[in-house]
Amino acid sequence: MKNLVILGSTGSIGTQALEIVDAYSDRLQVSALAAGSNVDRMEEQVRKYLPGFAVMYEEKAAGDLAVRVADLPVTVLAGMEGLQQIVSLPEADVVLTAVVGMIGIKPTIEAIKAGKDIALANKETLVTAGHIIMPLAKEKGVSILPVDSEHSAIFQSLNGEPEKRMKKILLTASGGPFRGMKREELLYKTVKEALNHPNWSMGKKITIDSATMVNKGLEVMEAGWLFHAKPEQIQVVVHPQSIIHSMVEYMDGAVMAQLGLPDMKLPIQYALFYPDRLPMEMPGIDFFKLGQITFEEPDMETFTGLKLAYEAFKAGGSMPTVFNAANEKAVSMFLAGKIRFLDIADIIGKAMDAHGVIENPSLEQILETESWCYEFIESRC
């Protein structure tokens, strides 16, 4: 029996992880759940899975939840302190980090220090603090198992092969809802249009990131840390059908790929049960109906967010934090109707231009850089 702590249990990844718990209740047990502010859904989850602990990031939401579940033997905690407490529970085996944003960094570090394996679905943790996370995980003998479909595919394609034999990572991208369009066609795209992803069902923030291709840029940086790859070793390939989730090219020219229908349950389940592969009730690929799969080169002059991600990756230090923080702020502004779609990448570029890189930043400097970036955007954009 594996005991899980799920950070972000009310979101897309968290709810799908709990569906896997339902399917394998004889092998998985929930020790703690954490979410931001969705008290209604958290109450439902607490009553169903009866975790020992439940955390709401927002203080008011935690108070509300505590009143609602007062009849249950569950301890309700709040904020960052609550997150850091539950990831260190003695009974916990695996921590699934599915929160959105840089709030995932501190609890991930605490979980690693406590010797917990990490099922990682929070890109920002490695993008901004990979230089801290990866050495710490190695020191503590902790496994970091990627949950993103692309990184899970790379992980599976590398299975059994030393990383030194890897020549290149081929990171696939659907292209999002605006694939093939030029900048003039994107000038007046609405939030509703940007949220209409052709293949994947995801939360609002990551769906907008897919539309701008910033999400793929974050994945490039995350892949660099997970698989010890340099920027020039990671090539983004637009693959509209989202059947090949990513590939690895080896030194001898062989290419290994992982294929599957676009369903996040597969990489989540693989991470939770690794190295086992367990049955999953979902259809397989019908290659005859599929007919063909196609590939395109990404248009980095239109989707400049991807181009800026490579620049941030190459600059290193605190620059990836600026890229990530500026994007978070800009996406929130776009969702609120305050800026246009193309402004997102423009704001990221302005923040990067204004930032002086800090080499090998500490956690405190990472968080200070995030705050600086938010303040810069609020004052200038």
Task: Quick: pLDDT tens for 81-102.
Answer: 999 999 999 999 999 999 988 9
Instruction: Tell me the per-residue pLDDT of 322-352, one tens digit each, with 9 for 90 and over.
Output: 999 999 999 999 999 999 999 999 999 999 9
Average pLDDT for 296-324:
97
User: Facing residues of 236 across strands?
Assistant: 171
pLDDT at position 111, please? 98
Identify the H or E element spanning 324: helix 319-335
**Residues, the chain, total?**
381
Q: Hey, what are 313's tokens?
A: 């990756």
pLDDT at position 288, please? 94
Rounded CA-CA distance 76/68 in Å is 10
Rounded CA-CA distance 136/125 in Å is 13
Identify the H or E element spanning 32: strand 28-35
Cβ atoms of 352 and 326 closer than 8 Å: yes
Q: Hey, what are 316's tokens?
A: 């290193």
- Residue 314 burial class via C-beta count within 10 angstroms: exposed 0-12, middle 13-18, buried 19 and up: exposed
Cβ atoms of 176 and 344 closer than 8 Å: no
Confidence check: pLDDT of 262 > 70? yes
Q: Hey, what are 48's tokens?
A: 């169903």
pLDDT at position 52, please? 97
Rounded CA-CA distance 95/207 in Å is 24
pLDDT at position 159, please? 87
Domains and CATH numbers, the chain: 2-146 (3.40.50.720), 151-314 (no CATH), 316-381 (1.10.1740.10)
Cβ atoms of 121 and 147 closer than 8 Å: yes
Task: Name, in order, each residue with C-beta under 8 angstroms of 67's C-beta and a sequence gap of 6 or more.
Answer: none
Question: How many C-beta atoms lie closer than 10 Å to residue 78's C-beta?
Answer: 18
Rounded CA-CA distance 358/335 in Å is 30
Choose among 362, 369, 364, 352: nearest CA to 315. 352
Q: Hey, what are 215's tokens?
A: 């999400």
Instruction: Tell me the per-residue pLDDT of 107-147, one tens digit each, with 9 for 90 and over.
Output: 999 999 999 999 999 999 999 999 999 999 999 999 999 99
DSSP state of 296: B
Mean of all residue pLDDT scores within the chain: 95
Q: Is 179 helix (H, G, I), strand (E, B) or coil?
A: coil
pLDDT above 70: percentage of residues in the chain: 99
**Predicted model pTM:** 0.94
Sign of torsion over alpha carbons 107, 113, 119, 120: positive
Given pLDDT bands bounded at 50, 70 and 90, which one contains residue 300? very high
- Residue 261 burial class via C-beta count within 10 angstroms: exposed 0-12, middle 13-18, buried 19 and up: middle
Q: Is 332 helix (H, G, I), strand (E, B) or coil?
A: helix
